[in-house]
Amino acid sequence: MTEAETVYRPHPEDHTFLDSNEIVINMGPQHPSTHGVLRVVLRLDGEKIIGSECVIGYLHRGVEKIAENRTYVQFNPYVDRMDYAAAVSNSLGYCEAIEKIMSVVAPPRAQYVRVILTELNRIASHLLWLGTHALDIGALTPLFYCFREREEILKIFENYCGARLTTHSFRIGGLQYETYDGFEKQVNVFCDDFLHKVDEYETLLTGNRIWLQRTKGIGVISAEDCIQYGVTGPVLRGSGVKWDIRKAMPYCCYPDFEFDIPTGQNGDTFDRYIVRMEEMRQAVRIIKQAVAKIPDGPIMAKIPKVIKPPVGEIYHSIEAPKGELGYLVVSDNSTQPYRVRVRPPSFVNLSALDIMIRGHLVADVVAVIGTIDIVLGEVDR
């Protein structure tokens, strides 16, 4: 209790004559629904939340500092360990940032394979989100259905590069491996199958009265607040802002594909749920186009054996499953980066937690943490 009080700074407006009834509880760092080692200090009036503060850092590994002591190539696997649920996206962002500072462009075939794997990873990440989010709200079963499909994606990753979770699948300048025999077929089979599976999840949840009651009007965040807090990704789109870096600041070969950006209207948990469900369908659409149009050719650009980017500073961002994932890389023309700064979507989105849960009940906290879709490896780095 005393430790929690020292951490919590009371909000001046929150004082009422019922102050004696307030309790401060510590949610986490060991709690089933904080998705890792997030600690939320909640101040409650009964069960109503009148204040909260996130305490992070339990998973801090100093990834950005490590970058300064590794070569550009050596640092590549480390980025996979930030958002371990979407390792491929992290890798894509890092590789493209270094390619940009070196003024190298990956060959078309490499770009297409990158898009296929990244979008598959987006689906895997959203499946993990859906399963755990539903579990937090009390629906036990969707988790296992989600993991069943996620397993198929991880099998594709395993066939491609031997790893399932932290894949280290891309290299600066392209790819290390050519795709395996039957890659396109396996991806296509998965895509055809998966659309039915998404419908199946929706029959379990979307029309369910309890699900609607638990998600509609919960954790509302307005578009203005989203922009103020720098919130990106499905949370921003759920509030009605049509901002997707794949369209707004295209990278890789995304301009070659047709896809829609789903948006919500109310900015509540239900809208974010719908947005992510639709994003999974759109990801399938992108993958199918990419598999159909995949060109032949080299998979690696011509890059020097020892990577020494010219002196300069570059910011490159991509649309990771959780939002804008940016890399600021400063080069001093040595083999090691002078500084790598990561802009992680989870960390920035988490900052909006307080305004999203204020006035709600304890049960809604877990729903909102779930709907923000954080990965603590990325929050703490």
Partner 1 sequence: MPSTAQILDWLTIAKPYIIMGLVVAVWPLVSGYIVLMERKVMADMQVRLGPMRVGPHGLLQPIADALKLLIKEDIIPARVDKWVFWFAPVIPVLTALTAFAVLPFSQRYFVAELNVGVIFILAMTSIGVLGIMLGGWASNSSYPLLGALRSTAQLVSYEVAMGFAVVAAVMVAGSLDMVNIVKHQQASGVWFIFYQPIGFFIYLVAAMAETNRAPFDMPEAESELVAGFMTEYSGFRWALYFLAEYSNIFVVCSIATTLFFGGWLRPFPNVAWLNFLDWAPAVMLVGVGAGCLYLAGKQLSAANKIGMGVLGAAIIAVGLAFGVPMVIDYVSGPFWFLFKVAVMIYMFMWARFTFPRYRYDQLMQLGWKWMIPLGMANLLVTGVLILVKMQYWSAK
Is 176 near partner 1 (CB under 8 A)?
no
- C-beta atoms surrounding 2 within 10 Å: 6
Q: Which stretch binds partner 1 (CB under 8 A): 27-35, 60-68, 157-165, 308-316?
A: 27-35
- Comparison of 39 and 168: residue with beta carbon closer to partner 1: 39
Cα(159)–Cα(182) distance, rounded to whole angstroms?
A: 10
Nearer to partner 1, 197 or 308 (CB): 197
Measured distance CA(18)–CA(91) in Å, rounded: 51
Structure tokens at 93: 């962002």
CB of 284: closest distance to partner 1 in angstroms?
21
CB of residue 369 to partner 1, shortest distance in Å: 10
183 membership: H or E segment, kind and range: helix 183-205
Stretch that binds partner 1, among 65-73, 182-190, 344-352, 358-366 (CB under 8 A): 358-366
**Is residue 213 within the footprint of partner 1 (CB under 8 A)?**
yes
Please tell me whether residue 348 binds partner 1 under the rule CB under 8 A: no
Q: Smaller CB distance to partner 1: residue 150 or 316?
A: 150
Q: Is residue 278 involved in binding partner 1 (CB under 8 A)?
A: no
For residue 336, the 8-state DSSP code is: S
Exactly one of 75, 78, 157, 211 binds partner 1 (CB under 8 A); that residue is 211
Is residue 361 near partner 1 by the rule CB under 8 A?
yes
263 and 241 in contact (C-beta within 8 Å)? yes
3-state secondary structure of 341: strand
115 burial via Cβ count (<10 Å: 0-12, 13-18, 19+): buried
Among 105, 261, 303, 363, binds partner 1 (CB under 8 A): 363
Give backbone dihedrals phi and psi of 123, rounded to 5 degrees, phi first. Answer: -65, -45
214 sits near partner 1 (criterion: CB under 8 A) = yes
The C-alpha atoms of residue 58 and residue 36 are separated, in whole angstroms, by: 9
C-alpha dihedral (206, 207, 208, 213), degrees to nearest 10 = 80
Which of 85, 284, 135 has the alpha carbon at shortest distance from 196?
A: 284
x/- track of binding to partner 1 for residues 118-147 (CB under 8 A) = ----------------xxxxxxxx-xxx--
Q: Which residues between 46 and 105 bind partner 1 (CB under 8 A)?
A: 46-47
Cα distance between residue 65 and residue 281, in whole Å: 38
Tell me if 353 contacts partner 1 by CB under 8 A.
Answer: no
- Closer residue to partner 1, CB minimum distance, 286 or 353: 353
In the complex, which residues of this chain contact partner 1 (CB under 8 A)? 23-26, 31-33, 46-47, 134-141, 143-145, 148, 204-205, 208, 210-211, 213-214, 361-366
